[in-house]
Structure 1
Amino acid sequence: MIANEPIPVYTTLAEVFGSAEASLPYAARWNDVAKEFEKRFGRKPSYIARAPGRVNLIGEHIDYALFGVLPAAVDRDILIACAPRTLLPSEHRTEAHHEPGAVVVENLHPKYTRQIFVPASKKSASIPEEEVHAEAWFLDINTKELRWESYVKAGYYGVLNQHFTGAEDLPVPVDLLVTGSVPAGSGLSSSAAMVVASTLAFLATNGKLDKKEHILTKGELVQLSMRNEKRVGVNSGGMDQAASIMSDPSSALQINFYPTLAALAVPLPTRAVFVIANSLVVSDKVSSAKRCYNLRVVETLVAARILANSLGLTIGEKEKVTLREVVGLYQGETEGQDMGPVALEKTLSELLNSDKLDILKAFGQQGCDLGVTMEAMIKMSGLSKAIFDEVYLSWVEIEATHFQLYKRVKHVFSEALRVLSFQNVCLQGLAGDEAESLTRLGELMNESQESCSQLFECSCPELDELTRLAREAGAVGSRLTGAGWGGCTVSLVPEGQVDAFVRKVKETYGPYKSLEGQALNEVIFATKPGRGACVYKL
């Protein structure tokens, strides 16, 4: 199983990319970051940690409800050249960057300045009492005004607290140089790639990938990276980290989160080409989280409790039950059991085609456009305000006057069904007719976009326009990818039609009309499923 495989540590680029020939287009970039590290820090890097971005083919905003998704890694990535720092006899030991675990991090992009930060033991008198908790280490991460190095700190945080006691077991000082080709705010998960790459960099430089008593697995790295990214204020469901870490170069990746994390390579039709197009609307998942991403997490969690109550299911008063767990309880799954795709499809269809979801609408309301108020939502949950706040609001910041519980659940259940259908077409085909298979996959992507736009309301006018123009340009299907509210679309284009497709989109999408050459290739490009995260040992 992919989740049980060890984190790959390679010694040649041919291993990283599968063959010497495949590595040729990337060799210059890797060589440049190694040379620049040596220029800036006076020695060669010991490792280069790599984590790719990802494109989600289908399954949007359902991972944190614990339903399966179908992403793939892309060839755009984050690279971090790194090395432990040895203190020279002539250097002053009183300087901050010589402290145990001190980090000097630079970025090849000129707009990002050098940062130095030092982790502190929780016993340090410099840490406010309210910040002292069960963890051994503390790093200051300002989630209100997020900076680029916060993602590096987030990756470090989990490594510190999982692998160092804070007593005699101390981390080494480290130098890092970051470069990235995943555009920020594009929906290709640059933030998760940064957290995964930094997590790997700190593990490698501290010798934690070489421990014979326990070899870190891909599944463990996914869990660690998920916890790390939450340090920056995003309640990630795990799809981004899993896709970045566990992807296979020949397939999409079916990722299941229930009852445990599991991944399965899903081969795609040979004539399927996926083209990514950036709307050029920046989607900042962190700064808008309280109105967008985190709000949707809370809406789906509260809706799950209300639905469970209405179905007569027993839920603990302080339990944050997910929609997937509610479906399992309704179907009669025992704890730790997976009903399988056939039973899941049947149960989801039954719930969607019944009136059982109507309980999620506003009291006495015929439609559901207005949503429910906070007061009404608390009443529907059956909890006291104090318990409701503790369970659903104490750990996250949200901003809304009305909550669209009915719409959100309709999207989650229907999107989960589309993932099952997409996977089935890929695995079995349609009567051996690849053209028909491509058509069906495209239909599912189009349905997903409509649901994201109308029910989950995570699209935006530019994404709606770009997906429409993509279909008119020859895509059999097009949808937003990533969290939405900006960022990228992914379009399914038959092999041999990509150049004509790109040309037509350029001619019709306003922000592209003045772009040529490399500038155009930066915003619209075809991609193939790529290899997951790794460490290159120099």
Structure 2
Amino acid sequence: MSAPVPSINSLDKIYDPSAVPKQDKRYKNLLAQFEKVHGRKPEFVVRSPGRVNLIGEHIDYCGFGVLPMAIERDVIIVGSTTDEDTKIRIANINSKKYPAREFDYEGKEKVVSIDSTKLEWSNYFKCGYKGMLEKFQLDTPKGLYLMVDGTVPAGGGLSSSAAFVCASALAVVTANNLSISKTELTEIAIVAERNVGVNSGGMDQSASVLSEKDFALHVEFVPKLRTQAVPLPVTSPKLAFVIANTLVVADKFVTAPRNYNLRVVETHMAALFLAKKLNLPAVDTLKEVYDLYYKDSSLSEVERFTDLLKKAEEFYPKDNSNNNGYTLDEVSQMLDIPVKELQDKYMTRFPVETDYFRLVHRTKHVLSEASRVIEFHKACENSQGDSTIKTLGDLMNASQESCDKLFMCSCPEINDVCEIARKNGSFGSRLSGAGWGGSTVHLTTEDNVAKLIDAIKNEFYRKKYPNITEEELDDAIIATKPCSGAAIYTGF
């Protein structure tokens, strides 16, 4: 991870060979547009990809690792520098949707102003710019002429914002002849993106910067951010992934109190309860329970999860609400913490609305999902070729079942897409992202991609969205293979 961001002179080192002709045309067009708009020759090209999470949903804030991969869709920035001023002139290949902007360096203390209350595309560049210049404290950074092309669909759960911020930070480094490692770039991008009001955990930026071609990435957060490249099985025909966005958007401001915020609170309460029953100190996350209780255990990682799940089922009191969970009064008694203290601790900063807390459901999902991440990683490392695809697919399907029935973060549209996909050659189909809408990911083989995409287009999109355009369809469903992370491209 401490290696420098690579300089790559050939597109086949970034993308799968099948994607190179299309990407070559795209790069050449972007370079030509740069010259046309700015009237000068490009000096550098950088890119950083979006990501899809293959397995490990809603367990990162519980302290457990996740397993994403970088995708072909990415953000490319072409640029040149000037010493005549410190202005940034940034244009986008899609100028109608993203108008050209201009701003200036505001000095070491402030760097640049970012109004996070406005949805403004250039704010994401400003994040990367601000993060890098705060680190390097340059007296006079280079003035920049820039042209951006992004193919990661915005709002599709594929981390378009992280890809843009990482590419922007890398552009600033490259333009000013600075030296930075992949790890430093990742850490700066994580913090920098918070300038637009996104409280990022680190998975998105890690996958965008640290991924390697043909590998997934195991990202762990405790005790510190750590990543490991995971080789995906070599099969015949080759494996491939299809990502399908349901186009269902969950309005987080409206739904968070009953969805995301509530799940975070329930997992914290579950951790407190299990720690109490296991005679451990009070903790915040289920990962802390797992680490403390099995500190000196000879059991394997997966055996520990199985054991902890069994104990949890024995510890939880009877549910008197027809499987709806526990009331706040009941949780108060289980934790031996007054109701007001629980409300102050868990339900004040972020609003929570519920009559019941489903601690058993959430515990089962988090512990079984964390175990599936480990099993997925081990299956990849001990690959038996073609037979491993079924193993990985089964784990993905089990993850979706758990997300749907135990964590209750799926939705009818996600379930429909997954069912259609499995009937048309997907080995494993699941939601990817927070859920309640957003994207799905499907494991298949290279020879089946076209059939799978056609089936989802015809049986889902054209039925649910009869007025959808071909352009919107192409954005909604994409085929991809694991691509490399952030890079400086020198082959132009």
TM over 0.5: yes
Distance 1:313 1:220, change over 3 A: farther
Gaps of 5+ in 2: none
Question: What is the Cα deviation at residue 500 of structure 1?
Answer: 2.8
Match of 1:408 in 2: 362
Q: 2:145 aligns with which of 158, 166, 175?
A: 175
Q: Is 1:426 aligned to 2:366, yes or no?
A: no
Match of 2:402 in 1: 451
Instruction: Find the aligned partners of 1:253 and 1:303 in 2 and give their Cα distance.
Output: 28
Instruction: Find the aligned partners of 1:408 and 1:138 in 2 and give their Cα distance.
Output: 42
Q: Is 1:263 aligned to 2:241, yes or no?
A: no
Structure 1, residues 430-456: CA drift from partner, whole Å, max 9, x if none?
A: xx4734x33332221111112112222
Structure 1, residues 496-536: CA drift from partner, whole Å, max 9, x if none?
A: 33333333333321247777876644433332111111122
Match of 2:275 in 1: 308
Match of 1:6 in 2: 4
Match of 1:63 in 2: 60
SS of residue matched to 2:200? coil
Question: What is the Cα deviation at residue 51 of structure 1?
Answer: 0.9
Native 8 Å contact 2:329 2:339 kept in 1: no
Match of 1:212 in 2: none
Match of 1:351 in 2: 308
Question: What is the Cα deviation at residue 463 of structure 1?
Answer: 0.9
Alignment of 1:183-194 (within 5 A): 183-194=153-164
Instruction: Find the aligned partners of 1:405 and 1:492 in 2 and give their Cα distance.
Output: 31
Question: Which amino acid in structure 2 is aligned with residue 330 of structure 1?
Answer: Y
SS of residue matched to 2:420? helix
Question: What is the Cα deviation at residue 298 of structure 1?
Answer: 4.9
Match of 1:369 in 2: 324
Match of 1:230 in 2: 194
Gaps of 5+ in 1: 88-97, 124-135, 210-215, 334-338
SS of residue matched to 1:355? helix
Instruction: Find the aligned partners of 1:84 and 1:357 in 2 and give their Cα distance.
Output: 65
Distance 1:515 1:399, change over 3 A: same
Distance 1:392 1:43, change over 3 A: farther
Question: Which amino acid in structure 1 is aligned with residue 113 of structure 2?
Answer: L
Match of 1:29 in 2: 26
Question: What is the Cα deviation at residue 9 of structure 1?
Answer: 2.3
Native 8 Å contact 2:89 2:146 kept in 1: yes
Instruction: Find the aligned partners of 2:169 and 2:478 in 1 and give their Cα distance.
Output: 28
Question: Which amino acid in structure 2 is aligned with residue 180 of structure 1?
Answer: G
Q: 1:249 aligns with which of 213, 217, 221?
A: 213
Question: What is the Cα deviation at residue 250 of structure 1?
Answer: 1.8
Tell which deviates more after alignment, 521-530 or 470-479: 521-530
Q: Is 1:274 aligned to 2:225, yes or no?
A: no
Question: What is the Cα deviation at residue 180 of structure 1?
Answer: 1.0
CA RMSD for the aligned pairs? 3.6
SS of residue matched to 2:436? coil
Tell which deviates more after alignment, 409-418 or 495-504: 495-504
Instruction: Find the aligned partners of 2:133 and 2:254 in 1 and give their Cα distance.
Output: 26
Structure 1, residues 167-223: CA drift from partner, whole Å, max 9, x if none?
A: x734333333222111111122212211211121222223223xxxxxx22222222
Instruction: Find the aligned partners of 1:506 and 1:207 in 2 and give their Cα distance.
Output: 46
Distance 1:267 1:474, change over 3 A: closer
Native 8 Å contact 1:118 1:139 kept in 2: no
Distance 1:364 1:508, change over 3 A: closer
Question: Which amino acid in structure 2 is aligned with residue 158 of structure 1?
Answer: G
Instruction: Find the aligned partners of 1:348 and 1:448 in 2 and give their Cα distance.
Output: 15
Q: 1:479 aligns with which of 403, 413, 430?
A: 430
Alignment of 1:384-533 (within 5 A): 397-401=350-354, 404-429=358-383, 432=384, 434-435=386-387, 437-509=388-460, 510-511=463-464, 520-533=473-486
Distance 1:274 1:207, change over 3 A: same
Instruction: Find the aligned partners of 2:435 and 2:279 in 1 and give their Cα distance.
Output: 34
Structure 1, residues 253-279: CA drift from partner, whole Å, max 9, x if none?
A: 223333341212222241433222221
Question: Which amino acid in structure 1 is aligned with residue 164 of structure 2?
Answer: M
Alignment of 1:132-147 (within 5 A): 137=111, 139-142=113-116, 144-147=117-120
Q: 2:46 aligns with which of 49, 56, 81?
A: 49
Structure 1, residues 365-410: CA drift from partner, whole Å, max 9, x if none?
A: 4555256549967994859968985x7678x644534554443332
TM-score, with normalisation over the residues of structure 1? Answer: 0.78
Native 8 Å contact 1:150 1:232 kept in 2: yes
Instruction: Find the aligned partners of 1:82 and 1:55 in 2 and give their Cα distance.
Output: 28
Native 8 Å contact 2:15 2:484 kept in 1: yes
Question: Which amino acid in structure 1 is aligned with residue 309 of structure 2?
Answer: L
Native 8 Å contact 2:332 2:342 kept in 1: no
Structure 1, residues 401-420: CA drift from partner, whole Å, max 9, x if none?
A: 45544433322211111112
Native 8 Å contact 1:185 1:285 kept in 2: no
Question: What is the Cα deviation at residue 460 of structure 1?
Answer: 2.0
Match of 1:128 in 2: none
Match of 1:111 in 2: 97
Instruction: Find the aligned partners of 1:377 and 1:49 in 2 and give their Cα distance.
Output: 53
Tell which deviates more after alignment, 420-429 or 279-288: 279-288
Residue identity (%):
39
Match of 1:132 in 2: none
Q: Is 1:151 aligned to 2:104, yes or no?
A: no
Tell which deviates more after alignment, 176-185 or 249-258: 249-258
Question: What is the Cα deviation at residue 284 of structure 1?
Answer: 6.8
Distance 1:229 1:376, change over 3 A: farther
Instruction: Find the aligned partners of 1:86 and 1:284 in 2 and give their Cα distance.
Output: 45
Match of 2:204 in 1: 240
Instruction: Find the aligned partners of 2:199 and 2:41 in 1 and give their Cα distance.
Output: 37
